[in-house]
Every structure is written in C-alpha cells, then in structure tokens.
C-alpha cells in the first residue's frame, strides 16, 4: 500500500512539474521573442495554456515549451542527484515527446504541434525531437519505475558471507 501511495504521489508531482515547466517555457519563449502574453493558466485540473498576441516569433514561443519542459527538470535532477528527481525529469522528457507526437496525430489546431507546423517548423525537426525524447525518456523512466517501486530485498548475514 505504501509503494502504491508513493507511486501515485510521485506521478502527481511529476505531472504537475511537467505541465508547469512546459507552459512556463512557452511564456519565457514568448517573452524572449517579443510576444505579448494575453492569457495564461496552469490550473492542474485542465490542460495549461498560454496565449500570446501579437507573437512575432511563434516558433521560439512554441519550441520553448517542450525544450524547457524537458531541460528544466533534467538540470534540477542533475543538480540535486536524488532518485525521485530523476523519476520526475525522465517523466517530463517522455511526456513532452509523447505530447508533441499525440498532438500531431490528433491535429487539434490549438495544440502545440499543429501550431508549430502552421508556423513553419519542419516536420523532420518535430519528428526528431519526438523520437529522441520518447525513446530515451521511455528507457530512463522505465528504469526509474523499476528502481523506485521494486520490492527491496534485504540480505541476511548468511547471504552476504557467500
């Protein structure tokens, strides 16, 4: 039961950090590109969003979300070197790649990937990002899950002598 609660808690934290860093990435990207932020929400009970108008550099604004949403948690995990932080960082990597891939498949015009394509981002660039983050994120996140949630074995004195 304790491991189940830990898993649920870590996933809630990871989801919250992923959506927050991703959306703050869009805000920072928009700010760096000279965009005007008109509306912003990171409410955890719905998909977060940020709207910029005008946005003179939408490719920067759009790419900053998945890039900072992946790199921010990774840098924090590298700095603090805790197992749970790597769990969160690897979840963020996997989730950002999956989000762009699924947004592409859905074609929903308000999601990032269709907006990136409309702004002139090369499909090969998006596909490369998705392939890298999904493959590396999956391998790392799966290992994190195994390490975090596998039953711990305690060596007895008889086992440690052999």
Q: Angle at the Cα of 142 (from 6 to 154), degrees rounded to 5?
A: 60
pLDDT in tens, 128-151: 999 999 999 999 999 999 988 887
pTM of this structure: 0.91
**Under a CB-based contact definition with an 8 Å cutoff, are residues 120 and 66 in contact?**
no
pLDDT digits (tens, 9 = 90+) for 61-103: 999 999 999 999 999 999 999 999 999 999 999 999 999 999 9
Note whether 50 and 40 are within 8 A (CB).
yes
- DSSP-based three-state secondary structure for 38: strand
């Amino acid at each position: 039961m304790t491991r189940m609660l830990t898993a649920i808690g870590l996933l809630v934290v990871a989801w919250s950090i992923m959506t927050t860093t991703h959306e703050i990435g869009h805000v920072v990207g928009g700010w760096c590109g000279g965009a005007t932020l008109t509306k912003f929400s990171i409410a955890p009970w719905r998909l977060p969003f940020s709207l910029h108008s005008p946005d003179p550099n939408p490719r920067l604004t759009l790419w900053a979300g998945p890039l900072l949403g992946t790199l921010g948690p990774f840098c924090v995990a590298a700095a603090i070197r805790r197992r749970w932080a790597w769990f969160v960082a690897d979840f963020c990597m996997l989730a950002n790649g999956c989000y762009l891939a699924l947004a592409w498949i859905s074609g929903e015009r308000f999601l990032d990937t269709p907006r990136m394509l409309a702004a002139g981002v090369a499909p090969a660039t998006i596909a490369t990002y998705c392939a890298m983050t999904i493959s590396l994120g999956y391998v790392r996140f799966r290992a994190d899950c195994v390490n975090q949630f596998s039953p711990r074995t305690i060596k007895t004195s008889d086992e440690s002598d052999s």
